[in-house]
Amino acid sequence: MRPNIILLCGLLATPSATALGQQSAAAEDPIRVLVQRLDLEKYKATIKGLTQFGDRREGTDRNRAAIDWIEAQLKSYGCTNTERLRYDHPPAVAAPRTPPAGGRIRGVRARTSVNNNPNAQPDEALRALNAQPSAPGPREQVYCTKVGLARPDEMYIIGAHMDGHGWGEAADDNASGTALVMELARVFSGADVQTDRSIRFILWNNEETGLNGSRAYIAQREALQGREDPPGSGRYPEPKWLGVIQHDMMLFDHGMPREDGGVAKEQRPEADVNIEFQSNSKLAAQSQALAWAFAAANERYATDYPATVGSHMASTDSVPFQDIVPAISLRENERVTQIGAGWNPHWHQPTDLFSTYSDTDFRLGLNAAQTTLAAIAELAGAGLKK
């Protein structure tokens, strides 16, 4: 029956017939309707917008300008209840990022490092943009919240870090994750979208210095969970955390390095979205269940790339939450065995530029967005107003 209605709508090409078709699709599967509101060109444009601030290194004017831009974009989407969490970051040596227990490097390993040489960046304008060094002092990170109608006191946290380094544009690490979270905020902020539970969209700062932004959030907000303020108002500034989902490097899955350290120029045919939990965390079982829920959402709603579930989440802003609340991360590769083994030669390098990546790369990030949007829409009880 439905194919005939769609055909009739196409033949008549009347506004009322088109509206009827959209209402029918929404009633059939509102999650699919929301997923279809994600758009490759919008996702790319948001990444491109973030790269205008260079590597967005924390403690710099370009980082602060990027935060202002992110907040303005969120407000323009309708996510108007934006807030900032403020903290201080002293000059400290970042904690070493060691693989978690059970992790091991497999296959060919290429050299990985952080580029600290400005002269390695051949683009003079970009080199000048990234020239200001980080300074200790006040830091900020911005977030906004979709307030649930039935359970405003419960919340999923969707995050990505917006800071980068390496004297490039930090396009993959991590404009790709930041743009993903911003695109989800855009879709969920639609005037016809409602959810039972709350969803917070947060763009962490100071990830590259040791997850300081996410740690500051926990220090300031954990004890406030579920408190109604003021009493009787139905308002919960910090709803109870139900899960934390982090997005960090979403574009580049070109395969294992060759013996000479090089990698393929094109996305590998078997590229996938890596969903990871930490097997030695206190909430490993709950985090694993959350990961598999995301994998199931990917199977139903992602258009191009499948998802795989791994057990060695590491070195990203979901890690400080892993013993407090179910926590997972979505990535382009396995963090310990692939990213750490040099599968992405642009990681923390001057070549991490918007122009480095092709549409097949950007589409991997879009598929991760489809995965998270679908899973959270289901978990938070999303629907469309009639």
pLDDT of the residue at 3 = 36
- In a domain, residue 324? The reply is yes
- In a domain, residue 172? The reply is yes
- In a domain, residue 80? The reply is yes
- Which CATH number do you get for residue 63? 3.40.630.10
Give me the number of domains the chain comprises: 1
**How far does the chain reach from its first CA to its final CA, in angstroms?**
22
**Two tokens at 157?**
């946290």
Q: Please state, rounded to an integer, the average pLDDT across all residues of the chain.
A: 90
- In a domain, residue 168? The reply is yes
pLDDT of the residue at 5 = 31
Q: Are strands 382-384 and 193-195 parallel, antiparallel or unpaired?
A: antiparallel
Instruction: Write the pLDDT tens digit of every residue in 78-115.
Output: 999 999 999 999 865 444 444 444 444 444 455 668 99
**Two tokens at 375?**
């899973």
- In a domain, residue 14? The reply is no
- In a domain, residue 9? The reply is no
Residue 328 has pLDDT above 60, yes or no: yes
CB 135 within 8 A of CB 63: no
- In a domain, residue 17? The reply is no
- In a domain, residue 12? The reply is no
Give me the mean pLDDT over the 333-355 stretch: 94
* Of 251, 155, 145, 160, residue with least CA distance to 205: 160
**Which residue is it, tokens 């930090």?**
170
pLDDT of the residue at 259 = 86
CA 79 to chain centre: 17
Residue 383 has pLDDT above 60, yes or no: yes
pLDDT of the residue at 112 = 66
Which pTM does this prediction carry?
Answer: 0.90
pLDDT of the residue at 203 = 98
pLDDT of the residue at 27 = 57
Give me the mean pLDDT over the 58-74 stretch: 98
- Structural domain boundaries enclosing 129: 39-92+114-258+268-384
Instruction: Write the pLDDT tens digit of every residue in 273-288.
Output: 999 999 999 999 999 9
